[in-house]
Amino acid sequence: NEKGEYEVAEGIGSTVFRAILDYYKTGIIRCPDGISIPELREACDYLCISFEYSTIKCRDLSALMHELSNDGARRQFEFYLEEMILPLMVASAQSGERECHIVVLTDDDVVDWDEEYPPQMGEEYSQIIYSTKLYRFFKYIENRDVAKSVLKERGLKKIRLGIEGYPTYKEKVKKRPGGRPEVIYNYVQRPFIRMSWEKEEGKSRHVDFQCVKSKSITNLAAAAADIPQDQLVVMHPTPQVDELDILPIHPPSGNNDLDPDAQNPML
């Protein structure tokens, strides 16, 4: 600053800063009363101090465990992402897909679908990971939030993580009126991940209509005026030939020579 002093800990309160100074003396930071763990964590990250149970002491163990769990969940999910999830994403990409839907089942789950009557929910497009560890990881909503933030940081879009029902095996077959069978499947609640790496997702659902000028133009108004084809897209559609056949005829006023019967409409 103007006095030649170095300013550090910008944005950190004096109470937190005094607590952090103790770290350089004793190697331990004791969280002061009235200071939240997230605030202390932010200060430690700013000053590049390791936020670990061996360096942080506080009375609110729940908040401390929450921060430590977030750190552990991030490291664990990055491992799961590389070892389990990424290979399935690569398989989808190599088949031309630009999104991926993964269902996480336990090691003991058995999927046995009837070949003649499979589930009618689109599950055949899902990919499956059999991992009880990953299932337990996604059981916690906080872990799903951490996983979502990691996927966002890695550039993925349209990320959805949650719990949904997944059909495992056929329980019974019921006959509907008319003799059509209805297959009842057993559903289990399991975590799922859905993500996309599509760059032009807005354009994929847009259909471009291009007008091609043909020798047999059915648009009479365009044929008569010879309007450039690129302007036809923004014009209001005019009646086609078959539509003109059914339109009521309104003779021009003052010209009664065309139809003698139309001279006196009351006759």
For the stretch 87-121, pLDDT in tens is: 999 999 999 999 999 999 999 998 988 888 788 76
Of how many residues is the chain composed?
Answer: 267
Is residue 217 within 8 Å of residue 223, measured between CB atoms? yes
Among residues 56, 181, 30, which one has the least CA distance to residue 116? Answer: 181
Residues in CB range of 177: below 8 A, 6 or more apart: none
What are the phi and psi torsion angles at 262 (to 5°)? -90, 5
Indicate whether 62 pLDDT > 80: yes
The pLDDT value recorded for residue 242 is 46
Is residue 183's pLDDT more than 70? yes
pLDDT at 177 (0 to 100): 77
pLDDT-above-90 percentage for the chain:
41
Burial class (CB in 10 A: 0-12, 13-18, 19+), 170: middle
Percent pLDDT > 70 in the chain is: 70
Query: What would the mean pLDDT of 182-187 be, rounded to a whole number?
Result: 86
In the chain, where the domains are located: 14-59, 72-203, 209-240
Residue 234 — very low, low, confident or very high, per pLDDT cuts 50/70/90? very low
- Comparing 170 with 209, the larger pLDDT belongs to 170
